[in-house]
Copies of this chain bind each other. A is one copy, B any other.
Amino acid sequence: MTELPTGLTLSMPEWFAGLAADLPDEVPVLDDRMAIVNDLARRNFEYGTGGPFAAGVFERDSGRIVSLGVNRVVPLGKSCAHAEFMAISLAQEALGSWDLGAEDLPAHQLVVNWRPCVMCFGSTLWSGVVDIVLAGAGPELEALTGFDEGPIHPDWELQLQSRGIALTLGVGNEEALAVFRAFGESGALVYNGRGGGRR
């Protein structure tokens, strides 16, 4: 038969390595961790390398940067390549473990420039992070950008709590909203599945 695909590669934009080289090893202050994430989100859509979303996995206590991810859906042609997904997978690549919550690892924290979509909410649960920091969680993201975030569970905060995952909301909120506003005003592509439901 026709040969079926057997593998794929997911990668950060070319500009990322140069930027990463200028970052400190550790970022002790939470606001500074989010500032890095908000900056990556803005660069990513301004440079045309993906949507206005970024995420980072940090060691919760030391602030060591383990990985940073940006949205890569359109450039890589993969609907899964959201920022949280990239950051989590790259952290697991760096550490050689599918469980960032493994007992021999320090506690890991995911920092994102808004509440994850339904897919990334799930991927966060499976990642092993024990701490999530979000710039916000309200309808502003969808209103400003046109992205569909999907049907997250109505009790998503309780679900995190029941799984021992701490949640901090509102860090870097204004900067995150400024990025979404700039994206919305840019006329850039919104890549909702099935042509935004037109099919």
Contact = CB atoms under 8 A, between A and B. Distances in A.
Interface of A: 1-12, 16-17, 20-25, 65, 67-68, 73-74, 76-81, 85, 88-94, 96-99, 101-103, 117-123, 125-128, 130, 150-156, 159, 163-164, 191-195, 197-199
28 contacts: A1-B20, A1-B25, A2-B65, A3-B20, A4-B16, A4-B20, A4-B90, A7-B93, A8-B90, A9-B10, A73-B98, A77-B92, A79-B128, A80-B123, A99-B191, A99-B193, A102-B194, A103-B198, A118-B118, A119-B119, A119-B122, A119-B123, A126-B150, A126-B193, A127-B193, A154-B154, A164-B197, A164-B199
A6 B2 contact: no
A122 B97 contact: no
Please name the 6 residue pairs, one residue from A and one from B, whose CB atoms are nearest each other, closest first: A119-B122, A101-B194, A118-B122, A7-B11, A79-B126, A151-B153
Q: How many copies of this kind of chain does the complex include?
A: 2
Given A98-B77, A120-B122, A153-B152, A103 B195 contact: yes
A130 to B, nearest CB: 7
A77 B96 CA distance: 6
A11 to B, nearest CB: 4
A93 B195 contact: no
A98 B71 CA distance: 13
